[in-house]
Amino acid sequence: MGLKDQLLALKWVQRNIASFNGDPDNVTIFGESAGAASVHYHVLSQASNGLFHKAILQSGVALNSWALGFHAAVEFANFIGHNVSDEKEALEVLKNTPVEVLYENQEKFMEMVDARGRPFSPVVEYPNDTAFITKNAIDLIKAGQYNKVPMIIGFNTREGMLFDVYKVLARLAGKEVKSPPPDSEEAILSLLKIIYRRIKEVYFKSADVEDDARILTSDVIFTAVIIAAIKNHLETSKEHVYVYRMSLIAGLNFLKNLAHLNDLPGVCHADDLGYLFKSVLTPEVKPGSLEDVSLRRFVKLWTNFAKFSNPTPEENELGITWAPAKAEDIEFLDVGENLSLETNPESERWAVWRELFQLHPRTSKFFLTVQEFGDILLNPFAITVNQGQLRGCSMSDIDGNNFFSFLGIPYARPPVGELRFKPPLPAEPWKGVRDALEPGNRCYSRDDISRVLEGSEDCLYLNVFTKALPQSNKRLRPVMVWIHGGGFAIGSNKPALYGPEFLMIEDIVLVTLNYRLGVVGFLSLEDPSLGVPGNMGLKDQLLALKWVQRNIASFNGDPDNVTIFGESAGAASVHYHVMSQASNGLFHKAIFQSGVALNSWALGFHAAVEFANFIGHNVSDEKEALEVLKNTPVEVLYENQEKFMEMVDARGRPFSPVVEYPNDTAFITKNAIDLIKAGQYNKVPMIIGFNTREGMLFDVFKVLARLGGKEVKSPPPDSEEAILSLLKVRKESEVSQIIYRRIKEVYFKSADVEDDGRILASDIYFTAEIIAAIKNHLETSQENVYVYRMSLVAGLNFLKNLTHLNHLPGVCHADDLGYLFKSVVTPEVKPGSLEDVSLRRFVKLWTNFAKFSNPTPEKDELGVTWAPAKAEDIPFLDVGENLSLETNPESERWAIWRELFQLHPRTLKFFLTVQEFGDILVRFNVVM
- Of 813, 853, 890, 916, which is the active-site residue? 813
The DSSP letter of residue 695 is: G
β-bridge pairing 331-335 and 241-246: parallel
Q: Is 873 helix (H, G, I), strand (E, B) or coil?
A: coil
832 exposure class (CB count in 10 Å sphere: 0-12, 13-18, 19+): exposed
Cα separation, 144 vs 139, in Å, equals 8
Are 55 and 109 spatial neighbours (Cβ–Cβ below 8 Å)? no
Cα separation, 379 vs 385, in Å, equals 20
- Of 291, 501, 567, 694, which is the active-site residue? 694
711 tagged catalytic: no
Cα separation, 431 vs 815, in Å, equals 42
Three-state SS sequence of 55-81: EEEECCCCCCHHHCCCCCHHHHHHHCC
694 tagged catalytic: yes
- For the chain, give the number of residues: 928
Q: Residue 703: which of 569, 808, 809, 816 has the closest Cα? A: 808
Q: How far from each other are the two terminal CA atoms of the chain, in whole angstroms?
A: 37
Q: 58 pairs with which residues across the strands? A: 32, 154
Contacts 24+ apart (CB under 8 A), 40-43: 40/67, 40/137, 40/229, 41/3, 41/67, 41/122, 41/132, 41/133, 41/137, 42/3, 42/6, 42/7, 42/10, 42/147, 43/146, 43/147, 43/149, 43/151
Q: Residue 265: which of 276, 282, 280, 253 has the closest Cα? A: 253
Handedness of CA 76, 77, 81, 82 (dihedral sign): negative
Q: 341 pairs with which residues across the strands? A: 333
β-bridge pairing 477-483 and 388-396: unpaired
Cα separation, 167 vs 175, in Å, equals 9
Instruction: Identify the H or E element spanning 791.
Output: none
How far is residue 175 CA from its own chain's centroid?
14
Are 120 and 67 spatial neighbours (Cβ–Cβ below 8 Å)? no
Max Cα–Cα distance, the chain, nearest Å = 89
Opening angle at CA 773, ends 769 and 776, nearest 5 = 135
Cα separation, 198 vs 598, in Å, equals 67
Residue 221 CB coordination number (10 Å): 25
Cα separation, 455 vs 337, in Å, equals 43
Q: What are the residues whose beta carbons fall under 8 Å from the beta carbon of 84, sequence distance 6 or more?
A: 74, 77, 78, 90, 93
568 tagged catalytic: yes
Cα separation, 276 vs 246, in Å, equals 13
- Of 45, 59, 568, 583, which is the active-site residue? 568
Are 152 and 56 spatial neighbours (Cβ–Cβ below 8 Å)? yes
What are the residue numbers of the active site? 568, 694, 813
